[in-house]
Structure 1
Amino acid sequence: MSETSTNSDVPQPREALAEFRQRQPVEQLLIAAITGIGIALTTGTLYFAYVRPIVRTKFAVLFFGVGVCLYYLSQALALVEGPTNESARTRLTGWMSDRQFGLFRRFDAVLCLVSAVAGLVTGYYAFDHYIRLSQDAIVFGFTTTDLYVGLIVIAVTIDATRRAYGWSISMVALASVLYALYGESMPGFLSHPGFSLTDIVTFGAMRISGAFSFIMEVGATWVAVFIMFAGLARAYGALDFILGLGEKLGNNLRSGVVHIAVISSMAMGSITGSAAANTATTGSFTIPMMKRQGVREDYAAAIESVASSGGQIMPPVMGVAAFLMADIIGVSYVRIIQAALIPAILFYFSAGIAVQFAVLRYGWTTERVNEAGILGSLFRTETMLTVGYFALTVGSFYLARSQGLLVAATVTGLVLVFARLLQAIVSTGGEESVGSDFLGAVRNFFDGAHFGIPMAVLLYTLVIMRLSPMSAGLYTVVTLVGTMFVRDQLILLDDQIRGPTAESAGEQPASYSGEAFQTLLRTGYTTLTGFKQGAIDMAPLVGVLAAMGVIISMFTQTGLTSEISVRMVSLGGGVLLVVLLLAMITSILFGLGMPTPAAYILVATLLTAPLQDLGVAEITAHLFVFYFAMLSAITPPVAVAVAVGSRIANSGFMTSAKQALRIGAAGFLIPFALVANDSLVNWSLTATPIDTFAVFVGVIALTAVTIGYDGWNVLGLPQRVGYLVLSFTAMYAPAASFVLGTNVASMAQVAAAVLALGGLGLSYLGQSPNEVTSTT
């Protein structure tokens, strides 16, 4: 593979073709179908984002059929590739012999193929009869074919969800259908007149609701374009760049590589939407690195699990839940980003502090490559030049912006190129090495910094231009693809100017035009591979989003959601704290084993109304339940992220879960701080800075309590109790304003934060009271 190829794990065309030819004919057919459908799904999504030829709901119906078909084909391929894969055994198949197990998996592969065809046909049927099903049939009645199609849609949805995310959410979907069907037999307030099977089928799918509801609409548009962008970015080597960036930061910290896990998992988790998948992806790199540094196995698994789970609250994507939240609440996407920003920073700040304290306490530190540390790095020549280029970029862009986006981007690029060329002339004194210095800088930029270009486009289109997430995603994908094509051609040009390397000195040099064409083909192949991977990553979400639509339709139509709201307020006696605790427990329980977006949709439907009835702002209520749905990924007994992390680290599940709770302890208290300090979510000029300062200090003090270390000394029981009182006061004093008054509560909050900060300062100076020296 030449240097001009992208830094990814994507096999090159010749390697992929050779591997393809070695496969069985059935596998070849499946791979060809998956590749074609995957590329077509991503291309179609981007085309819809650009042209919008049909209404969003109709596109979502077609997207459902194609997405479910792609998912089942991928499952069939996995079954055909490994008919006796022992790791795929479950309790149901554990007793089977190898021959019986192989026959079972082959039969399951056939079932997947049938389901793929059924999903595609039913999706097309609903798409083709869209007008009649959404309008005429509701008045004049549905045909027998409509009802059979709807029944198949619900069955395929539940089965696809079971295969992708296990039994938990699929059983909830099945239970919702049974609840609607047998409502008359339910006890107490759960009782309702009951639905007929026709009602279940029509409300569950064929009224273009349920499986085809707004959840599928958001998934097929806003969510899909970002999942596909993530697949494309991975194909281009973005994950390698993120890990490398984390490693550079680790060189400036005594804690070393452990912060690679926090940074890389935060970045990837914001896009993936699955804590377990994120733990498996980044954890396969970071957990072995942490263990090599000396970090204990259970802590390595815990650090990765907490960091992977928290990425889903990090703007701008928030694990795709931000799009769902904006649509449910009915506010702009930018408003969701603003509301979630400080809570997300709080969570990762607490996790980062906890990791730092744990590593320092147990001596898992490493020698820093950069002895100056982070503060020294901030004032290096390279850093100052980077800041200068960033300022020049922003200034040039805004000066040229009045001429249009394309002109602005072009002028900015030319200004940056001229500025870097000028720097090369100054730094080399006008010698012949100017060109070499300039080309070297260009090459270094395209080693990873170029990924900042599409991210800048994403932020600009979302925050400044206020475009819809789908339009912003479209521009981001197009920018990423364009950047990679330019990158590979510029690196090839650099190779041609520099001449042959030592490794290729004996080879016959190829013409530049031939090499340029080959490079173009390689980049195009990687792009199509990214299109395919993005669609495959999105496919499992199609089933679960449709299942959530069915669940919500059943609960809403039977009146269960409003009944739960009334009962929850009644059970809490109208006391906000009690209702918040009930909402926390319910959110965690509903989130166990579920992907966070699905868990959020469910708890938002059931639990936000009672919180709003007691005075909690709508967006704060949604963030509250979303936070705990996310934290279910590290909460025993399920803790899916910890389960994956502990397997990679070869540590005990419960031991790792215990450490994950210690590291993420502040995360369980931050949502209550959002309710007590509403300015953290709904910003104001005066209250937000004060509350942010106090809560951040409170989080540091609370983390010192849970870890038993303040960064310099091991804490004894008196110090822990003192910090605990100060942290709770700094985080929750405004909640007592109805008793103390607003001014007194604010003064108490700030005073507690100052005292806690002072205690940490005294500890740093070695003037704090005697601490316990045990490190157990």
Structure 2
Amino acid sequence: MTDTTRDRNRPTTSPRAAFDSLEARSPTEQVLVALVTVIGIALTASTLYFAWERPMVRSRWGIIFLGAGMTLYYLDRTLAKLGEPDSEGGSGFFVGRLDDRQYAMARRLDAVLCLVSAVAAAGASAYVQVNFERLFTEAIVVGFRQPDVVAGLVVVALVTDATRRAYGWSISLVVVGSVAYALFGTALPGFLSHTGMTLRDVATYGAVRISGAYGFILEIGATWVAIFIMFAGLARVYGALDVILDLGERVSQNLRSGVVHMAVISSMAMGSITGSAAANTATTGSFTIPMMKRQGVRADFAAAIESVASSGGQIMPPVMGVAAFLMADILGVSYVRIIQAAIIPALLFYFSVGVAVQFAVLRYGWTTEKTESAGFLRAAFSLETLVTTGYAVLLGAAFYAARDVLGLSLIWGGLLAAGVVLTVRFGHALVVEPSPTDARDAVGTSLERFFTGGHFAIPMLVLVYTLVVMRLSPLAAGLYTTVTMIATMYVRDLFVDGATPSTPVGTTVKTLEGFKQGALDMAPLVGVLASMGVIISMLTQTGLTQKVSLRMVALGGGVLVFVLLLAMCSSILFGLGMPTPAAYILVQALVAPALVGLGVADITAHLFVFYFAMLSAITPPVAVGVAVGSRIADSGFLTSAIQALRIGAAGFLIPFALVANDSLVTWTVTETPVATAAVLVGVVSLTAATIGYDGRHVLGYPRRVVYLALSLLAMYAPALGGIVGSSGAMGLQLGAAALALLGLGLAHVGRLPRPLAPPVKPEE
């Protein structure tokens, strides 16, 4: 990975370069660039202002946000259409058959349509905003006017079209299908039939009752989701992606697997923020997949590793691909409760991915040539690592003292904590270094290293503190984190580049570029969240969600394991081709009530369907994450998907373990550690069975079956409590885990009995 490659993927922040790029465009494009820039910056700034001041109720803010976000998205699409070369051609069944002249004409017509849609989006939301009080109260009683119906239909049509443009036909066809079901469901047989809805009902329930497109899903998106997506865009402009990749690269230098685990770490961190497996695979995979291939990793495995890691990032707290915010609001629990429930399952999943990757690399001989390196454990407990850890602890303690003892604000508390660490570092250098010059050089080097990547620890510390300790809402936590990062970046630029007259200007331009980028990242998601609101409204008003839940329980015969399997299949099916937050919203409405009706805890049921909605990104036949990864790796889609299923196999079984071991979610002092340890060993045993390698030996099918049986007992033995009793079930679980751990341990040190030891030589 070269710096040049990274620079090409980083937004342009130089004022001179931006001006030159603008001058090269046509007058129409210059106007569009100006509009996109102004609206993008204003949308992010307005979101921060709303988070600080709360000048209106959340539903009214959602209306403004949808109008601005859709307008921004359509203007950006107009600009993209005008910027495409006439001879480039297009993709799709119809467009791909046009010649260059016909394609150029179709592209210009589409640009005009996008521009009209931008105006319509702004006008419709302005109409709803002006008539908010009447629509929210009086119109529900005395009836809606014809302009209300027109505005509602325009909103439903626009969010459907924006979803199609941003995410393809999969979600938009579900929207169209839900509207068609609402209009013509009376003609369907059996339980699918309902009393019927009119076009006026679709318009009102779909939008102007301040529901549907303007419902609670958009409200969450316009507040909790938006501020973190915008924070991520700002962080990316500031260089956070480079820091994540560099950190993973440094970690990989002490691992025999080399850059492979760097890919897992980087994708985990980015996937938690983006909320889209395809987008994350494209972003980090463009760096990590070529690096893995250069190390010798087979193309299909490289695509599989990146797609699984990118998809799984969405189950990793604290952000969880923005779905955690949706889950907290739907369940009516605190955001911290969602983090607590999700952290152990997420760690289990990523531990299984890390072990699977390690086993695959060792089995097929894809290790790095740096086998003479110190090794991970020695590096982890080296003096340098311990000193760095000490400084991190000091930073946290100083920040806590600044907040709770001195009563400083979050921003000043973070800056004071950083100052304390730097002062201690300076004093340490004066004592250790032989001369003041050497001490100054050491401190200068420390400053440079800190402000080359370590400074991102300050806003992340603020994020954790505000969410976990202060228990603020995600909106408030996102506000303080964003403001802290902006302040930190101004300080960072002064330290690294020196105080020059142009330094504040450059940082300001970079910040505004981050505001614009964050809004552009959020704009496509606005349409899909509004579309999901329309779907949920149509399905709820027709009564289909309740009918599906009852039918699922009946089809499973009321037996929990069968209903869980049906819920798994439904979650994967409904999630195919969708971003995980959108898929979760849909499946939780259709599937989760059936699980809750059979006694599964609310939060466990929601995590169950969320996991499988996430795993749909690596599940054929769609597997959007694998599709993107295989294209980058230049590998076959089906072979990459098969490897992804092997690497992510534990992910398909962990949700069932959450139901069998409820303490993994609810947390108890005695049961949680035991269940976590047993399931952890079970995950490793399962990984050895699916990969066919135990860290030292290639496993034949008999040994793989044994490991598989032990893993299932270690993960699911508590479900047998009704047959063998709770004590017997725990004994089975711990016994299976102990046997699996003993076998893996003896295999790793080469002490398996000779009759049981398979060949050591890995397969080529």
Shorter-chain TM range is over 0.9
In 2, the alpha carbon distance for the partners of 1:87 and 1:108 equals 14
> How many angstroms apart in 1 are the aligned matches of 2:129 and 2:24?
39
Report deviation, 1:767. 2.5
Q: Does the C-alpha gap of structure 1 residues 319 and 370 become closer, same or farther in structure 2, counting only changes over 3 Å?
A: farther
Q: Which runs of 4+ in 1 moved over 6 A?
A: none
Q: Deviations over 1:101-120 (max 9, x none)?
A: 11111100100000011011
Q: Is the 8 A contact 2:90 2:96 kept in 1?
A: no
The counterpart of 1:703, out of the listed 676, 683, 687, is 687
State which drifts further: 123-132 or 644-653.
123-132
Correspondence list, 1:687-766, <5 A: 687-766=671-750
The alignment's C-alpha RMSD in Å is 1.6
2: CA distance, partners of 1:370 / 1:230: 38
Check conservation: 1:251, 1:369, Cα contact below 8 A.
no
Deviation of the 1:399 alpha carbon: 3.4
The answer for the alignment partner of 2:378 in structure 1 is 376
The equivalences for 1:283-682 within 5 A come to 283-368=285-370, 371-400=373-402, 401-406=404-409, 408-409=413-414, 411-493=416-498, 516-682=500-666
2:125 alignment counterpart = 123
Count of paired positions: 752
Shift of 1:617: 0.5
Q: Take 2:74 and 2:598, find their aligned partners in 1: how far apart are those partners?
A: 45
Q: Counterpart of 1:109? A: 111
The residue that corresponds to 1:260 in the other structure is 262
CA distance in 2, matches of 1:564, 1:78: 42
For residues 124 and 346 of structure 1, the distance between their equivalents in structure 2, rounded to whole angstroms, comes to: 47
Task: Please say if residues 626 and 644 of structure 2, whose CA atoms lie closer than 8 Å, have aligned partners that are also in contact.
Answer: yes
- The SS at the match of 1:94 is helix
Alignment check: 8 A CA contact 1:286 1:304 kept:
yes
User: What is residue 55 of structure 1 aligned with on the other side?
Assistant: 57
Amino acid paired to 1:738: G
Note the C-alpha offset of 1:372: 1.3
Range 464-473 or range 70-79, more displaced: 70-79
User: What is the SS of the residue equivalent to 1:651?
Assistant: coil
Q: What's the CA shift for 1:182?
A: 1.0
Counterpart of 1:33 in structure 2: which amino acid?
L
* Cα distance in 2 for residues equivalent to 1:405 and 1:730: 49
| Pair 1:487–1:718, CA change in 2 (3 A) | same
The residue that corresponds to 1:771 in the other structure is 758
SS of the residue corresponding to residue 681 of structure 1 reads helix
Instruction: Report the alpha carbon displacement of residue 705 of structure 1 after superposing the two structures with TM.
Output: 0.5
Deviates more, 1:394-403 or 1:727-736: 394-403
Conserved 8 A contact 1:180-1:558: yes
Cα gap change, 1:87 to 1:290, in 2 (>3 Å):
farther
C-alpha separation in 2, matches of 1:242 and 1:705: 32
Partners of 2:448 and 2:496 within 8 A in 1:
yes
Residues 13 and 513, structure 2, Cα contact 8 Å, conserved in 1: no
The 3-state SS of whatever aligns with 1:767 is coil
Give TM-score, length-normalised by structure 2: 0.97
Match of 2:162 in 1: 160
Tell me the distance in 2 between the aligned counterparts of 1:309 and 1:86: 32
Shift in Å at residue 10 of structure 1? 2.9
Cα gap change, 1:129/1:316 in structure 2, threshold over 3 Å: closer, same or farther? same
Q: Offset of 1:416 from its aligned partner?
A: 1.7
Three-state SS of the structure 2 residue aligned to 1:231 is helix
- Tell me, in whole angstroms, the C-alpha distance in 2 between the residues paired with 1:744 and 1:721: 23
The residue type equivalent to 1:323 in the other structure is F
Give the letter for the 2:239 counterpart: G
- Cα deviation, residue 141, structure 1: 1.2
Q: Decide whether the 8 Å contact of 1:6 with 1:236 is kept in 2.
A: no
Residues in 2 aligned to 1:59 and 1:452: alpha-carbon distance in whole angstroms: 31
- Once residues 581 and 190 of structure 1 are traced to their aligned partners in structure 2, the CA distance between those partners, rounded to angstroms, is 22
- TM-score between the two structures when normalised by the length of structure 1: 0.95
Corresponding residue SS for 2:552: helix
Q: Distance in 1 between matches of 2:762 and 2:19?
A: 60
AA partner of residue 51 (structure 1): E
Q: Quote the offset at 1:8 in angstroms.
A: 4.9
User: SS where residue 458 of structure 1 aligns?
Assistant: helix
Which AA in structure 1 matches 2:757? N
Separation in 2, partners of 1:389, 1:317 = 26
Q: 1:268 to 1:410 in 2, by over 3 A?
A: closer
Q: Are the counterparts in 2 of residues 83 and 106 from structure 1 also a CA contact under 8 Å? A: no
Letter in 2 for 1:586: S
The alignment partner of 1:432 has SS state of: helix
Structure 2, gaps ≥5 residues long: none
Which stretch shows the higher mean deviation, 619-628 or 765-774?
765-774
Query: Distance in 1 between the 2:372 and 2:252 partners?
Result: 9
Task: Measure, in 2, the Cα distance between the counterparts of 1:105 and 1:603.
Answer: 36
User: Match for 2:145: what amino acid?
Assistant: T
* 1:97/1:397 CA distance change after superposition, 3 Å: closer
Work out the CA distance in 1 between the residues paired with 2:415 and 2:228: 25
